[in-house]
Amino acid sequence: MMTRRQAAATTLAAAGLAATPATARAPIARPLVIAHRGASGERPEHTLAAYRLAIEQGCDFIEPDLVATKDGHLVVRHENEISGTTDVAARPEFAARKAGKLIDGETVSGWFTEDFTLAELKTLRARERLPALRRGSAAFDGQETVPTYQEVIDLAKTEGERVGRVIGTYPEMKHPTYFAGIGLPLEARLAGLLKANGLDARDAPVFVQCFEVEPLKAFAKLSRARRVMLVARGPSPVDVTTASGLKAIAAFADGVGPEWPLAVPIVDGALGPPTDLVRDAHAVGLAVHPWTVRAENAFLPKALQRGVGPAAHGDVAALLKALYAAGVDGVFTDFPAAAVAARGV
């Protein structure tokens, strides 16, 4: 019987992601389905229920965003400001914790994980962040707590054993420079958890992602786990629209996570031909995992919208198939079932 690490290596190799030097990457047969915050289109994001449903729907990886608590634990939230994803604003015992902070150059007001101990956060209940678009998910408000990354690792392992396949985790370090500045650096904490769980290896079922360059470089000195540079449209630390920019990323990362229109652009309200991003990234050995595919009209180009209103679901399958056809190595999605169905294998 294969060990979990051996099985993970087999899964990654099948997706064209075996641990190899940074050389040209061959086309892949089976892109990874990465459940963005779990099946977050159907359950409140970053809850164990959302991750469990994503695994049931056939995803390969579950994606937790990591932030720190006052007592140094890594918990899973979209942001360290938690009024949009928990019931903290309705809890009178925490009213005095409301604060305004400068985070990555932006003034933010609310309640922040770094002002709570893990025990205090565990008294809060999770809720849907986009209730107007996701009423079905909002029906599950109040049923789940804020999980730790260790709980997500444990869930991936136990559910993987139950369904008979390796389930990886794909953690994102959120605001690492900010957290380092308040004495709660994320890099060493994350590296320590990976080591403690036998995940400090190139072939382990884990990718570590970040929008910041220096934290990824710092993490590389602490762990052998794979790293992915996230890039949005607009100003970015590294320009992924040029071959030289991608070559620069390949010097410190194993993959790139572009906002999906950087790979398949929107042209006159429809999907245009693929850009050179995937080809150029593969040429320098980088995997390409675009984010984030969502089914609602609010997130789709006009030509793919269906029904009436922003919450109605459009032709998300067409977008997924276009990304697969462009040669991506995986996709982040809030709707794993749709991504698995569009993949067809």
Inform me whether the pLDDT recorded for 225 exceeds 60.
yes
d(CA 10, CA 318): 29
pLDDT score at 27: 59
Banded pLDDT at 1 (limits 50, 70, 90)? very low
H-type alpha helices, 139-236? 149-163, 176-181, 187-196, 213-220
* CA distances, 2 to each of 8, 144, 305 (Å): 9, 34, 45
pLDDT score at 32: 98
pLDDT score at 9: 47
For the chain, list the domains and their CATH numbers: 4-80+144-343 (3.20.20.190)
Q: Looking at the chain, how many residues does it have?
A: 345
In this structure, what token pair is assigned to residue 262?
């950087």
Mean pLDDT of the chain: 93
Inform me whether the pLDDT recorded for 191 exceeds 90.
yes
DSSP string, 27-50: P-SS-EEEEETTTTTTS-TTSHHH
Which has the higher per-residue pLDDT, 276 or 28?
A: 276
H-type alpha helices, 29-148? 48-56, 118-121, 135-138
Banded pLDDT at 16 (limits 50, 70, 90)? very low
Run of H or E including 338: helix 336-343
**Catalytically active residues, by annotation:** 36, 78
pLDDT in tens, 278-318: 999 999 999 999 999 999 999 999 999 999 999 999 999 99
1-14: average pLDDT: 45
pLDDT score at 28: 65
Inform me whether the pLDDT recorded for 5 exceeds 60.
no
Inform me whether the pLDDT recorded for 7 exceeds 50.
no
d(CA 219, CA 158): 27
d(CA 301, CA 331): 17
- As a whole-number percent, the residues of the chain with pLDDT over 70 amount to 92
* CA distances, 291 to each of 256, 264, 319 (Å): 10, 11, 12
Inform me whether the pLDDT recorded for 188 exceeds 50.
yes
Look up the pTM and report it. Answer: 0.92
- As a whole-number percent, the residues of the chain with pLDDT over 90 amount to 89
pLDDT in tens, 105-146: 999 999 999 999 999 999 999 999 999 999 999 999 999 999
Inform me whether the pLDDT recorded for 26 exceeds 70.
no
| Secondary structure percentages of the chain, helix, strand, coil, to 5 | 35, 20, 45
- Mapping DSSP to helix (H, G, I), strand (E, B) and coil, where does residue 282 land? helix
